Every structure is written in C-alpha cells, then in structure tokens.
Amino acid sequence: MMTGEQYRQSLRDGRQVYIAGRRIEDVTEEPLLRQSIAMTAANYDEFYRPGDDAYGPLFFIPRSVEDLRYQEVEQLKWANPTRTTSVSLLMLMTAASRIRSQLPGYADRVMDYFEHAKKADLRCVQTITDAKGNRALSPMKQDDPDLYVRVVSRDSGGVVIRGAKLHITGAPIDHDLIVMPTKRMKPGEEDWSIACAVPVNSPGVRIVATTYAPRPDLPTDYFPYSGRRNMAEGFVIFDDVYVPNERVFLDGEVEHSATFAHSLGLWERIGSVAHYVEMADTLVGMAQLIAEANGLQRIPHIRQKIAELINYATMVRAGLEAAVNNAQFTAEGWASPDELMTNAAKYFAALNYAEMVRNLHDVAGGSVLTAPMLDDLRHPETGEFVAKYMRTMEGVDAEHRMRLFHGIRDFTADTFGGWQSVTILQGGGGLHAQRLIVEKHYDMTHAKHLARKVCGIEEPDADPTPGSVS
C-alpha cells in the first residue's frame, strides 16, 4: 500500500493538467488542488498497512449483506475522497460477471486489472460521460465522430482512442481512468463500444481541471465545509491515446455496450444514497440549530418545515437500508444492492432535495447570505457592533450564530452548495435515468393483479402488456 507521501510522489508522473487557462507543472504544488490532494493523502495514511499482501477498503468485494453494509454505509463514509475507486472497480467486477459467459477473455482481463489496481494501491475513477454533441443523435450520426470516445485505429497490441469525457471527479489527482461507453450502442457503432483502463499520465491524455475549492484569498472559517473538503473535477481529453490489449475490457461488442453503464449506475447510485443519508441529517440539524438560535423552534410553521426535513432524511435512510438488506448476489457470490430500491431512493433524494434546501433557507433567514465574516467580529472597530447585533439572546452569542450561517451558506448556497445541488440531480445520471431503471425493475404484474382483484376483474389468460414496464 502507499502512504500519503508516496501518493503525492506518484502524482509527479508527467501528467498534463490545466486549470484556469494555465498548465500545472506539478499538481501537488497547485493551490486550487491542494485540499483535494491533502484529503486523498490523508485517506491513504488512514488505511495504510505495511506488507506485500495488505490492501485497503477500496478494494474490498462485498459477499454478504453485512459486507455490503460495511462497504457502502460504514467504511466508505460520507464524501470519502476516493470513493470513486471502489465505485469504478465494483462496476468493472459487476460488468465482468454479467459478460463472463459470452466474453470470458474480457472478464479475465477485468480480474487481472482489479488485482493490479489493488496491488499498486491505485486511485481510479469511472470515466463514462461523453461530450455527446447533439443529444438527440446517436454517436455515428453526429457531425463530429469524436463527440463520443471511439477507437480510431487498432494494431495487434492494442487500440488508439480519441474523444473526451466530461465531469470526471478527481481525474486530475487520480491514477487511472476507467473508460466505458456512455450508453447502449447500435450495430454500426462498434468503434464507440470501447471500455478500457487508461493511466492519467498516458501520452495524449490532457485534463482541464475545475474545482469548487473556495477562493484562496477568503478566510477558511467563511467556508467551514468546502474549505476542508473539496475535490477537483476533470474535463478529460483523449487525443489519440494508445491502450494495450490487456487494459481493453470491451472493443466493438455493441450488444454489451450498455452493461458497463448499467453496472456503474448501480454502484454510483448506492454510494450517492449513502452520502445523501448523512447530507439529509445534516440539513435537519442545521434547520433545528438555526431555529433554536433564532428563538423560533416552537413556532408551528417552522416546526412543520423541520418535520418535512426529518421525513425526507428518514425516507432516504429507509431507501438505503432497503437497498442493502435486499442485496442480490452474482454467480461469483458477490453482493450488490437491490436495483429497484437503490434507484427509487436516489430518485426520491434528488427529486426533493431543492425543496428541502428551500425549507432550510426559509427557516434560517437572510443572514445565510449576508452574515459578516468572523474576522469582522474580531476587528476592533466593528467587532463590538457585530457581536451586539448578531447575538439573539442569553446563550446565543454572535459567533455561534455566525458559524451556523456560514455553514448553511457554504453547504447549500455558495459555490459548494451550488455544486451539490446540480450534482445531486446529475451525478450518476439525471432523474430520467433512475426513473427508467425503477420502471424496469418494478413488479407491474403484481400491481395489476392487485388492482384487478379490487375491481373484480378476472385475470386474463395472457396479459397483453405483461410484467414490468420497460
């Protein structure tokens, strides 16, 4: 396993990373990436154990409900900076299990890659979302064929890929990109049916980084959450990148092109739901604390809004529990969360998030945006007045209330808050993507049977629209 320092050293590997219009020579020295790297390095140190056969929790394969709970709920805690490693590797293993009977060679390569990543203690990220051009058109109908990542040439040793993958979380500071088709490809779209592992420092890979890290010139206590926890995103360009055969997991088999995306959806969404459980409880806590600090905790409309938040948090937790407790098992004995429960919980959490944040903002008041900074409380000319007018009553001083306002703003209404609002909707695919999976796995036959029973309608010999909706 690597220590945090060895991880930092491993990032000085010639990777081509850019930010705000400039090339970063050494990502470990870049102020805007500093916190992302520090968090990841701390994560390496937290789990480090010496020895050739030691490996970390990101390489753990759940084999029971208890394992799954350990992996998704306890071990990969909220906003684990390198959770994408586990997500992308479990996605690969699930996909390998699903294609093994027809494409055993690719499945074996996935297993070899898993062992390689585990031994080298790599950090990986799922790299699926293409540029996509005109969304109404499939890859081969685009006016530029590179709008979806594709194979542009092949030789006996490997393939050359070209295109771009957008929004890749942590790409500037990870080791490997796990590339896969963004959706089902049609016959004729064999070149776009490519899944593979690509080291970030491969010749031809360029990453344009973005980040919600706070402006370095503002005090850290103005961003109590995102000042400590932030992650870089990557706009990843594949400018004719050579990928050796042993790292190619699919090349041209259109009928399996969606297997990777479906497998990813499952692991990405259960991880998101686990994250939302803690996020939702945090919203409840913020609303209750600011209501108490404002003296409003017994007012009926405030209590009603907090009750709605509590109900939201409880339903998200119930969805997580149901998804884990109804685990499904592959032929290899690997446990994965229930598809229906996972997707329904993710959909519910994402659909209602904006409304829950509205409740919090409604309860909290305008100082969420305008509370002075703590430095103004410490200033000899303003401090006395800020202290006087930001306090509310005995036991609620200005600093307590200001810290609450800054926390709520940072978490829900500033750069990170905006990032979180969009990410909850789009991460793991938009609402529509989850709705499709819910419809696919819902037991419609049973629902129609119950409805017929209530209405006194006989069961038909053959249902004209049998089974699940698809």
Ligand X SMILES: Cc1cc2nc3c(=O)[nH]c(=O)nc-3n(C[C@H](O)[C@H](O)[C@H](O)COP(=O)(O)OP(=O)(O)OC[C@H]3O[C@@H](n4cnc5c(N)ncnc54)[C@H](O)[C@@H]3O)c2cc1C
One-letter amino acid for residue 151 of the chain: V
Give the length of the chain: 470
Q: Could you tell me the smallest distance in angstroms from the CB atom of residue 205 to ligand X? A: 15
Residue number, 333 or 418, with CB nearest to ligand X: 418
- Residue closer to ligand X by CB (options 194, 377) is 194
Which residue lies nearer to ligand X by CB, 19 or 289?
Answer: 19
The one-letter amino acid code at 103 reads: L
| Residue 84 or 367 having the CB closest to ligand X | 84
Distant-in-sequence, close-in-space partners of 60: CB < 8 Å, separation ≥ 6: 67, 70, 71, 75, 86
Contact 231, 211 (CB under 8 A): yes
Give the integer Cα–Cα distance in Å for 365 and 385. Answer: 20
For residue 97, which of 257, 329, 420, 395 has the smallest C-alpha distance?
329
Beta carbon of residue 470, minimum distance to ligand X (angstroms, whole number):
16
Q: Which residues bind ligand X (CB under 6 A)?
A: 84, 125-129, 132, 135-136, 165, 167-169, 233, 422-423, 426-430, 432
Tell me whether residue 169 or residue 294 sits nearer to ligand X (CB atom): 169
Report in angstroms how near the CB of residue 236 gets to ligand X at its nearest.
9
Residue 7's φ and ψ, nearest 5 degrees, are: -60, -50
C-alpha span between 78 and 280 (Å, rounded) = 11
Query: In the bound complex, what is the minimum distance in angstroms from residue 231's beta carbon to ligand X?
Result: 9
DSSP labels, 264-304: HHHHHHHHHHHHHHHHHHHHHHHHHHHHHHTT-TT-HHHHH
| Main-chain dihedrals φ then ψ at residue 20, nearest 5 degrees | 45, 40
Instruction: Pick the closer one to ligand X by CB: 418 or 460.
Output: 418
Helix (H, G, I), strand (E, B) or coil at 401: helix
CB of 229: closest distance to ligand X in angstroms? 14
Known binding residues for FAD are 169
Contacts of 41 (CB under 8 A, 6+ apart): 4, 5, 7, 8
Annotated binding site: 169
Which is it for strands 205-211 and 16-19: parallel, antiparallel or unpaired?
A: parallel
| Residues in CB range of 387: below 8 A, 6 or more apart | 377, 397, 398, 399
Shortest distance (Å) from residue 260 CB to ligand X: 11
